[in-house]
Structure 1
Amino acid sequence: MDPRPITRCGCGAQIKVHVDQSTGRWFVDKFCDEHNHEMLTARFRGLLRSHRVIKEGDMHQINSMRKAGMRVPTIFRAFPTQCGGFETVGFEIKDIYNAIEKQRRVRARDAECALKYL
């Protein structure tokens, strides 16, 4: 098995914080915003994993479309026309699959809890 390629670029940007134990307040000890690489344009920031989120309204729409018999790839292709392009959707197809799986796990836990209660 080949090792993963190194993706670090030696960027010096960082923030260091300190918590005052007596007050519980957070303070910035060090801040450096000097990057040695180009920043992502605003157009594509929504595709970063940390910025991807399925909004509650979108999830309701996804669930309704699934109940109507639509498959996930078809559902995902409907969102860019509503949002103005793939880069403005705010999530990827795998995020839909993950959200559906999370719903299944929650339902399974709910059923387990109900059975334990009885």
Structure 2
Amino acid sequence: MSRLHIFLEAACERWVVRDFSDEHNHELVVPKLVEMLKSHKKMAEVDINQMNHMKEVGISMPNIFRSLASQCGGYENVNFTIKDMHNQVAKQKQQLPDDLDSAMAYLEKLTARDQNLFYSVEKGRDGVF
């Protein structure tokens, strides 16, 4: 951990560095584990695509993770976790437009162009379209 001591010198109204040390006072991460740090964890696009294809045919996340680890030569060579995979799926779901919203926007656009077009929407008992 670095250490920096600064103070405000009142006479000239400037910040002055009094002491600086960039020596680490803790063990550094073993190089082979660096990829597991949050700042380094990222699923590669090829892994995301493969995960999506396997998910589409009904393969469970643990089995997908096991398969990806096998392809990489072991779990220690995978730089993401099953939790990261679930987070990626959730992220993808958030990026997809809602089908109903897309359909409604499309119909509104069509009715703006064609005044003879009419559509009606009813909500179900639960208040959902």
TM over 0.5: yes
Q: CA RMSD in A?
A: 2.6
> Could you tell me which of 10, 13, 30 is aligned with 1:41?
30
Normalising by structure 1, report the TM-score.
0.67
> Could you tell me which of 59, 62, 66 is aligned with 2:55?
66
Whether contact under 8 Å (1:46, 1:88) holds in the other structure is no
Deviations 1:69-115 (A, max 9, x none): 10111111112211122222111110100111111111145763553
Normalising by structure 2, report the TM-score.
0.62
For 2:26, the aligned partner's letter is H
Give the paired residue count.
Answer: 94
Structure with higher Rg: it is: 2
Unaligned runs of 5+ in 1: 1-10, 15-28
The alpha-carbon distance between structure 1 residues 13 and 75, as it changes in their structure 2 partners (threshold 3 A), is farther
Q: Report which structure shows greater RCO (CA 8 Å, sep ≥6).
A: 1
Identical positions, percent = 40
Unaligned runs of 5+ in 2: 5-16, 108-129
